[in-house]
Amino acid sequence: MQVLVHPTPSTTEFRMLQNRKSAINFCLVLIVLLGAYLRIHTATNTVVDNPFRADAGQYYTYAHNLRFSGVYSRDFWPQSNNFEHGPSADAIRSPGYPLFLLAFVEKTPSDKGILQITLAQAGLGILSLILVFGLARKILPGAWPLAPTLLTAISPQLVNMETYILSESLFGFLLLLAIYVCTRYKSEDCNNRTLIISGFLFGIATLVRPTTQYFLPVLLLYVALASGRQLQWQHYVAIASAFILPSAFWMVRNVITLGITSDPTLTINTLVHGHYPGMMYNADPATLGYPYRFDPKIQELSSSIGSALSGIWERVMDQPAQYLQWYLMGKPVEFLSWSDASTEQGFFTYGVLQSPYLSSKFFIFIYVLMQHTHWIWVALAIFSSLYLLLKLFKQPHFTDATSVLLTFVFIYFIGIHSVGFPIARYNTPILALIFILSFSFLYTLTQKIRSQPAVSMEADVT
C-alpha cells in the first residue's frame, strides 16, 4: 500500500519562498538585460556634436597630456602634439576622471576611442543596477526592490549621460559603491573595516568630482548613529584618514609641482555662476543659463574666493527677499529638475547629431514616461527624507541604517548645490537614491494604510 506523505506547512512555506526568490531573481536579470540594452544601444547609436567641447574637452586633454607628455595639464594639444615649451601643469580639475580616461585616450582622438569610453561608462551603469538592487533590498521586502532598480535601468538621464565624456557616470557608480559598502557595516560585529573601505571609496569619488569633499562630517555622524556610538576615537580617525587619503596625495602633488595645495578656480566659478536668481542676469531672459557671460563685474567677482563671497553678499543685501527665495527654494528646484536652460533640446547636455531618444519610438516612450513622472519620484523622496528625519529625531537609536544614509546623502547634495551651481545635470549621480527613497516612502505608506482597518476594528470591538 502506497502511503502519501503530505508536505508539512514549513516545507510548503519554504518552497513558496524559494519560488518567490527565484521569480525575483529572474525579474532582476530581465531588468539588468533591459538596462544593458538601453545603454549599449544608446552608446553605439549616439553621435555627439563636438564631443570634446567645454568640460569634456578639458577632461580628455588632461588625460592626453598625462599619457603622452607626462604632465597633468589642460593645455589643448595641437594636431602635431609639439608644444614649444610643453604643456603647463595645473590643478584646476581633480584627477579622478582623467585617470579613468587614461585607458582609452589616443594620440589623435577617434570615433572608436569615444565609443570605448561610452561603452565603459555603460558598463558602470549596468553594474550600478546590481548595487541599486542591493541597497533597495536592505530597505524594502519581497519584490519591492525591483521597482527602483527598474527606474534606474530605464532612466533616460542616466542612460544618456553615459554617452558624454563627463565625470557624472563614474562618480555616480563610485558613490553607489561607497554607500553600499558603508551599509554592510553591522554594529554587533564591532568591525569597522567596511566603514574604512567606504570612507576610502568616498575619497576616491571626491577625486572624480569634488562634490563630496565636505561629506566627511556627515559620514562620521552616520557612523556614530549606526554604531550606537560604540566605536572608539581611533576608529573615527581611521575612517576620516581613509576619506582624506586620496585627496592628500593630490594635494602633495600640487605642492610639489605648483607650490599650492589646490586651485580655487572651480570653487569660485561654482559660487559665482550659481548665485544669479533664476539663472539670469538682472532677470533678463536673454541671459538664461549663462548669466555670468553678461555680468560686467564677472572678472572682479571671479578674482578670488573672498571677492566672490563679498560681491555676492553685497547683492544679497541689495535684494534680500529675492536671494533668500533663490537660495532656499529656487536652487533646490533647479537642481532637482528634469532639465535646465543650458541643455540642448531640453535634455541633451551637449547637442547630438543622432540619438535613439530622437528616432526610436521605444526610447521616446520611456523618455516621455520618465519625464512626466520625474517630480513624483522627487516629491516622494523628499517626503521619505522628512519622515525619516522626524523618526530619527524621536528615536535616535535606529535599525534602518540604509535609509538614514541615503537620506543624509540626498540632503547633502541638495545643500551643496544650493550653495553652488544648481544645474539639473548634477542630480544624475543621486537619481538612483531618489528612486529608492521614493519607493521606501510608498512602502511605508502602504503599510500604514493596511494597518488602519485592523486598528479600527479593534477600536469597534472594545
Helix H segments across 69-162? 96-101, 111-139, 146-154, 156-161
Closest by CA to 111, choosing from 61, 65, 44, 66, is 44
Residue with cell 587619503: 245
| pLDDT, tens digit (0-9, with 9 covering 90-100), for 326-350 | 999 999 999 999 998 888 888 899 9
Nine-digit cell string for 247 = 585627496
pTM: 0.92
Residue with cell 502602504: 446
The Cα–Cα gap between 264 and 283 comes to 28
pLDDT at residue 79 in the model: 47
pLDDT at residue 460 in the model: 52
Helix H segments across 259-359? 265-273, 298-301, 305-318, 320-325, 331-336, 356-359
Nine-digit cell string for 332 = 533646490
pLDDT at residue 295 in the model: 86
β pairing state of 352-354 and 47-48? antiparallel
The residues pairing with 47 across neighbouring beta strands, listed in sequence order, are 354
| pLDDT, tens digit (0-9, with 9 covering 90-100), for 383-413 | 999 999 988 888 766 667 899 999 999 999 9
SS3 call for 48 = strand
- The C-alpha angle with vertex 266 and arms to 262 and 267, in degrees rounded to 5, equals 80
Residue 85 carries which side chain, given as an amino acid letter? Answer: H
pLDDT at residue 77 in the model: 59
All residue ranges of the chain with pLDDT < 70 are 1-10, 13-14, 77-85, 187-191, 396-399, 453-462
Q: Taking the CB of residue 384, how many other CB atoms lie within 10 A of it?
A: 26
pLDDT at residue 80 in the model: 45
Residue 339 carries which side chain, given as an amino acid letter? Answer: S
Contact 143/397 with Cβ under 8 angstroms?
A: no
Beta-carbon contacts of residue 142 (< 8 Å; ≥ 6 apart): 20, 24
pLDDT at residue 1 in the model: 44
